[in-house]
Amino acid sequence: MKYCSRCLYPANHPLHIIFDGQGVCSGCRVHEEKDTLDWAERFARLERLVAPYRSRSGRFHDCVVPVSGAGDSYFIVDVVRNRLRMNPLLVSYNQQYNTRTGIRNLAYLRTFFDCDYFQQTVSPASVKKVTRATLRLMGSMHWHCIAGGTAFPVQVATRFKIPLIIWGAHQGLEQVGMFSHLDEVEMSRRYRHEHDLMGYEAEDLLAADAGLSERDVAPYMYPHECDVAGAGVRGIYLGNYIRWDTKAQHEAMIDRYGYETAPQQRTFDAYNHVDNWHYAGVHDLIKYLKFGYSKVVDHVCREIRFGRLSREKGLGVVRAYQQVVPGDLPLLLEWLDMSEADFFACIDAHRDPAAWEKRDGVWVCRSELYAGGDTAGGVPPACGYADDSSRCGEQAETGGYTLMGRGWVDAWHRNP
């Protein structure tokens, strides 16, 4: 396996990565723009871009902002509300694997920024059927989260004729440098199909699994091209106009609004996925079993590029976290009513042969760079991610999913 000589990304990154003559990956090269572009000028471009969408009377929503109980949502809404002076309609697809921390963050988000909010909660029975199908078809338990999270904002924008959707960073740009910031790439059906959805649209699931009905997959369908174009809907990424640094952004939100963090099982980033029981647990184990590397590699690569972690120390962090056995598999299997053997059979069918081979009936990882290390001495601390669990006393985690929260916080009802 070939690896970037600056960060730690492998050649089999599913978003596709390329290396230059010095062995430096495309993601590292595009990251250099963060220190060379004139970000004040880029933000001024953003202000000009959104100006025609701003409602003069303030009576109407002038953009749609997809949010969750984690992952830069506070920062995005802060920019939209306080710097761009817009009136967003916040939308979220209910991932159902919710932690109370995430529900709480979402409730405080809506309260602090005084925004209207629209959530889609699909029938849990349908979500389970879809998830069993996507585990079998593509080895993914997270497809419904991505498909719902990328379809629902566009459905809302199209239905209510709010033509601007504002997203945070573009993952393909941030991780593998698929685009330059200067390309000002916008949301597209094609990127969603090829990368977010791993090539499976909702319609493809319907055709591939006789157990699914149209009702089961309808929430994951992208609106028809004519409807999107007719409503003039476009989706822009703030990361093209703001020097995106998720760690610094979250820390500003912790200081300003008390954003709640939580330790994660298989990575040191305690900020980004605190709303989801499985993201840094079973979902991350699946990523490792398919591609031979896990989320901690994404986080270490990001920190190396920002100069907050050396490549050598980062490698130690990767090796330690990669060994961690997540404790949340029984929770998922109970919810899915699936046996452990069936679950691993689904994953094994989708192992990337570039990263895994079977020797004498045993799977062996070919990603030799990350091999070794153990967790006997505990996982090493990395980059000083802060612990802000000051609101945890309100309601501790229950050990299971929280499907819904109260949604608002005030002086009388502190428990969202």
Q: Which of 3, 6, 131, 324 binds Zn ion (CB under 5 A)?
A: 6
Residue with smaller CB distance to Zn ion, 4 or 169: 4
- Which residues in 10-49 contact Zn ion (CB under 5 A)? 25, 28
- Rounded to a whole number of angstroms, the minimum distance from the CB of residue 311 to Zn ion is 9
Query: Closest distance between Zn ion and the C-beta of residue 370, in Å?
Result: 15
For residues 343 and 132, give the distance between their C-alpha atoms in angstroms, rounded to a whole number. 9
Sheet holding 164-167, edge to edge: 116-120, 88-93, 63-66, 164-167, 234-237
- Residue 119: is it exposed, middle or buried by C-beta count within 10 angstroms (0-12/13-18/19+)? middle
Q: Which stretch binds Zn ion (CB under 5 A): 2-10, 62-70, 157-165, 333-341?
A: 2-10
Would you say 102 and 260 are in contact if contact means Cβ atoms under 8 Å apart? no
Q: Least distance from C-beta 264 to Zn ion, angstroms? A: 23
DSSP 35: G
Determine whether 312 is exposed, middle or buried from the number of CB atoms within 10 Å of its CB (0-12, 13-18, 19+).
exposed
Question: Cβ(99)–Cβ(262) under 8 Å?
Answer: yes
Q: CA–CA separation, 332 vs 285, rounded Å?
A: 13
113 vs 291, beta carbon nearer Zn ion: 291
Q: Should residue 300 be labelled a site residue for Zn ion when binding is judged by CB under 5 A? A: no
Closest CB to Zn ion among residues 169, 347? 169
Nearest residue (CB) to Zn ion, 5 versus 395: 5
Burial of 173 (0-12, 13-18, 19+ CB in 10 A): buried
**Site size for Zn ion (CB under 5 A):** 5
Least distance to Zn ion, CB of residue 355, Å: 17
Comparison of 7 and 122: residue with beta carbon closer to Zn ion: 7
Q: Does 4 bind Zn ion (CB under 5 A)?
A: yes
Q: Which is nearer to Zn ion, 6 or 287 (CB)?
A: 6
Candidate residues 3, 7, 10, 292; the one interacting with Zn ion per rule CB under 5 A: 7
* Non-local CB neighbours of 202 within 8 Å, separated by 6+ positions: 147, 151, 217, 218, 219, 220, 221
- Given the complex with Zn ion, which of 28 and 228 has the nearer CB atom? 28
Closest separation in Å from C-beta 302 to Zn ion: 10
Nearest residue to Zn ion by CB is 4
Q: Residue numbers of the site for Zn ion (CB under 5 A)?
A: 4, 6-7, 25, 28
